[in-house]
Amino acid sequence: MVGGVLGGKIGGIFSFWLFIFSVFSPPVFAEVYRCVQEPGVVTLSNVEKGKNCEKMILPAPESRALDKKAGSKSPNSGLAGGSSDKAGKNKSSYEETAAERKRIIEEEIDLEKGRLDTVNSRMKVLNGISKKSAQQSAELTALQKKQNLHQGNLALLQKELAKP
């Protein structure tokens, strides 16, 4: 019985300190690297993976400390309508996020179009050859698969962009 009570107290103390550390600890930020291994293949990583990686500059998240400081100076902070100010911030944050999402999808659409154009131009050259070698025929088959892949990616991205 004594061990159960003691274990409960230690668990409670641990839980208390875990809560305190989680509330008052500063946020942790990771570095994000954009790596291009081969044309058309982009990966994101928290570790730099060679000379083809560049550190991305991301917008800083809103800080709670800044919100607390700004909250005391807010014109609505002492009024009953102060909660509408918070709702306005959430709406603005949502709109910013939605705009950033749209920008990223449009950027990906542009990249896919560029890849598709590259594949199509090479296919045009190969289709212009009347007697293809075995290697050229194999390349043409591979390019047709890539063409289908890029067209499918474009369709998915455009569908994603159309979502509200």
Residue 55 domain-assigned? no
Contact 48, 33 (CB under 8 A): yes
CB burial class (10 A; 0-12, 13-18, 19+) of residue 150? buried
Residue the block writes with tokens 């800080």: 63
List per-residue pLDDT tens for the chain, 164 residues long.
444 544 556 666 767 766 666 666 666 566 788 888 777 788 888 888 788 888 877 666 554 445 445 554 444 444 444 455 555 666 678 888 888 888 888 999 999 999 999 999 999 999 999 998 999 999 999 999 999 999 999 999 998 888 87
Residue 140 domain-assigned? yes
Which residue range(s) make up the domain with 131? 97-164
Residue 130 domain-assigned? yes
Residue 19 domain-assigned? no
Whole-prediction pTM value? 0.45
The domain tally of the chain equals 1
